[in-house]
A and B are shown apart, each in its own frame.
Chain A
């Protein structure tokens, strides 16, 4: 039975992914009969290259994508290296859930409201301190260079990477390793970087690639924080796809294909960078430098992380206040008129979208975790390791821009007579949930010390019993993390809901996105909170359940108390 899991996963996956890729690449080479494109042609690419400012768009995408990824990674690693086992880690851990749960676009809007010249920060000090009775005409968020977009992405990616890294740390013999390194005279941060990082890196590298892919393709945050003349590539593609002139679909498809290449190429570059860093790092480790006491680095690491959390939480707080505001005008530091109406008006309309959101997300996350566990278990029992080609397929939905990809998926669903059904909706979500669940679970699962399983087998336990009684309980934390991530991904999906649901299903996110297009911060505040609430509950459970489950198992705690 177990042998069928990889095949089942692939079948569930292969059809839509193939349809998605064909739906992107065929029109990119001029083939889409319903729009009169019936032959092979390079015209879409010629059109694409002739687009004004394409180079700038590419540079903006690459610059913001790499900057956001590397800065996020540096902040997370710097923080954990310098503060391992200390109180800031416990504090940050407690504050992690809200930042993880808030939808990207809400973080972007919250940050823009904080940082723009008429924003909250300026309002707090105007006009009494700054003398500004009108907001100054300075481009802060958005700004021409995309710095605001990088900031917004960092606010969302740091919590994600932190979550993944903390999960990985729970799987490695961190405390013992550190104790040995410290006893050899290494400074705390140096000891972490030289001994712990190489242990956990294999488990966080795929998530880092995913962060890069996401940052390069982000649309919703870019619409709020990136410059628009020209915008980065991904929002530009969306604009082409949404162009009323349907002939632009070919150009858009070529753009989506270019985006695909951009992401794939960037990942290759990051992979090369990783190799280089590994080589240099090995030399650095072998050189045996002990490092300093690390007080300065601790301050920097802690400072950067706390700054991220402070800004992120302040942005969320700003949106929470907006949701209760009737009037909040420049330069008032707080609303001049408060109201509960923004909430009351939504109350009646929420039951149905809320129910759809929960049921679809639970179904998609559970199916995804079952498939992933089945594949991973099969891999270990039968010694089948999926080739890199298969892995690539699993990540394809994350690499391709959703809009072009989903057009092909939608055509498949319609042909199968499935579109607009609940099944199609869950399936459509599964395409994006599964990669993240796989991402969150594969490495912790593979890295579980196989001696546990072997010992259990030696004591007479059947493989199934080992799975249910040993592996699953020991890996409860990453499994629940993965479930929570899958649930959160599903809750946040917009385009897959619109495309696969055929407009027959409304979720909190579709409601939120359509209302957000009207730009009313008060309504966006309400929906951000509601959208965040469900994933937040998920993450709280993922953090709380293992803590309760392991309450009498000291060795399973992430931090020795």
Chain B
């Protein structure tokens, strides 16, 4: 059965990829570079992790040296702040000279901006470095939560749901959704997930749905009348799980980082993360013990891509494109994948790189707690965003109120 639905998913992807991406003007890259020189680019990006902030600061020094672009990191606590800012500018009729030049974005925020016509482009697929992107084997670089990117956002990094545990206290982590329920029953109060709409929380629920649903291929289509039937097993599983959750499901952790802290505080048996190198990175920064390790689920986990996009009214769209292009360069991608700096997987295809580029990746340290690519297991594509919205809503009325 598994084979059948994977085939179904693949078919869905092929279908989505062959959709026309819209008429694209040819970008004169030299002209873009000339205009970008001397521009100040305000990049609105979540600022909750010092290591990511340091990486972005490094990007700033590089694009300054290479292209004469001054990069300013506007540190957000929630990407929605930037979306709202662009919306406010549209409300006030400021259709050029906006204050946001580049946004770190994906999923629902991207869909919202795309639907409201708040994005500049298409530009992404005409950037010189896009030719290295692994669009064949990493279809999510062009399909953001099943929504075609249409060149409105440039892929930046690959995320994949994984679980972090302390091998010193937990010998056999649960490697499946039914196993997690069994673990919670045997160890009451030791399992927790962040409350939706936190994206780690909703992804965990979608992950559970994937394993519990009869035919996962339906998740690639928007939900309709089949919502109750498809999600029924998920609610049954949650009804059984909730009384055995941390704090009996009366209190939920706020987000993913809070869960990492709780793992270190000894409150739970495992944390949930989207960065495959999170455990190694957390060990390096002293957030987790040396014995922390990563596990994934046997039937695969959800993966997606995160991107950068340019608002329709950006003041320095050329500078923003130059930055977006640099972010896809082998140099920037290799540094990002290094757990000493960040530990976020590349969007590039090794086969498309030249020897020098490949060498950058070959030399990367992996970190003891990071799984090798072949151990990371199958990557499941994100369901259509409609599922997420309705699951959040139903979750809220069943468990969140």
Among residues 298 to 354 in chain A, which have CB atoms less than 8 Å away from a CB atom of chain B?
A: 325-327, 329-331, 337, 339, 345
> CB-CB < 8 A to B399: which residues of A?
229
Once the chains are docked, how many angstroms separate the CA of A285 from the CA of B401? 47
Please judge, given known A-B contacts A118-B266, A143-B251, A241-B84, whether A415 and B246 are in contact too, CB under 8 Å: no
Contact assessment for B250 and A144 in the assembled complex, using a CB-CB cutoff below 8 Å: yes
Contact assessment for B111 and A520 in the assembled complex, using a CB-CB cutoff below 8 Å: no
> CB-CB < 8 A to B111: which residues of A?
244
- Listed in ascending order, the chain B residues whose CB lies under 8 Å from chain A are 42, 44, 46-50, 53-54, 72, 74-78, 80-85, 87-94, 99-100, 107-109, 111-112, 115-116, 188-189, 195, 197, 246-248, 250-252, 254-255, 257-258, 260-262, 264-267, 286-287, 289, 389, 396-397, 399-401
Chain A nearest Cβ from B325, distance in angstroms:
22
> CB-CB < 8 A to B47: which residues of A?
511, 514-515, 517
Contact assessment for B75 and A510 in the assembled complex, using a CB-CB cutoff below 8 Å: yes
Residues of chain A at interface, number, CB under 8 A: 70
- Listed in ascending order, the chain A residues whose CB lies under 8 Å from chain B are 32-35, 51-54, 56-57, 116-118, 134-135, 137, 139, 142-144, 223-224, 227-230, 239, 241-246, 249, 325-327, 329-331, 337, 339, 345, 407, 410-412, 414-415, 419-420, 498-499, 502-504, 506, 510-511, 513-523
Please judge, given known A-B contacts A144-B251, A244-B111, A415-B93, whether A518 and B50 are in contact too, CB under 8 Å: yes
Contact assessment for A414 and B92 in the assembled complex, using a CB-CB cutoff below 8 Å: yes
Question: 16 A–B contact pairs at CB < 8 A?
Answer: A51-B401, A137-B188, A137-B246, A139-B247, A144-B251, A223-B254, A224-B254, A228-B252, A244-B111, A246-B116, A327-B286, A414-B88, A415-B93, A503-B74, A503-B82, A521-B261
Contact assessment for A523 and B42 in the assembled complex, using a CB-CB cutoff below 8 Å: no
> CB-CB < 8 A to B84: which residues of A?
241-242, 407
Chain B nearest Cβ from A262, distance in angstroms:
18
A337's nearest neighbour on chain B, judged by CB, is: B286
> CB-CB < 8 A to B49: which residues of A?
518, 520
Contact assessment for B261 and A519 in the assembled complex, using a CB-CB cutoff below 8 Å: yes
Partner of B400, one of A230, A345, A498: A230
Contact assessment for B112 and A245 in the assembled complex, using a CB-CB cutoff below 8 Å: yes
Chain A nearest Cβ from B83, distance in angstroms:
7
Partner of B389, one of A54, A245, A330: A245
Once the chains are docked, how many angstroms separate the CA of A516 from the CA of B54? 16
> CB-CB < 8 A to B261: which residues of A?
519-521
The 4 closest A-B pairs by CB, nearest first: A53-B401, A518-B48, A137-B189, A244-B108
A407's nearest neighbour on chain B, judged by CB, is: B88
> CB-CB < 8 A to B85: which residues of A?
410, 499, 502-503
Chain B nearest Cβ from A226, distance in angstroms:
10
> CB-CB < 8 A to B197: which residues of A?
239, 243
> CB-CB < 8 A to A243: which residues of B?
80, 197
A137's nearest neighbour on chain B, judged by CB, is: B189
Once the chains are docked, how many angstroms separate the CA of A415 from the CA of B195? 38
Contact assessment for A245 and B108 in the assembled complex, using a CB-CB cutoff below 8 Å: yes
Contact assessment for B91 and A135 in the assembled complex, using a CB-CB cutoff below 8 Å: no
Contact assessment for A142 and B251 in the assembled complex, using a CB-CB cutoff below 8 Å: yes
Partner of A246, one of B42, B81, B112: B112
> CB-CB < 8 A to A519: which residues of B?
48, 254-255, 257-258, 260-261
Once the chains are docked, how many angstroms separate the CA of A242 from the CA of B80? 5
Contact assessment for B107 and A228 in the assembled complex, using a CB-CB cutoff below 8 Å: no
Once the chains are docked, how many angstroms separate the CA of A330 from the CA of B265? 5
Once the chains are docked, how many angstroms separate the CA of A134 from the CA of B400? 27
Contact assessment for B81 and A242 in the assembled complex, using a CB-CB cutoff below 8 Å: yes
Identify 11 new A-B residue pairs, CB closer than 8 A, beyond the known A224-B254, A504-B99, A519-B261: A35-B87, A35-B116, A326-B286, A327-B289, A329-B289, A411-B88, A415-B92, A502-B85, A503-B44, A514-B76, A519-B254
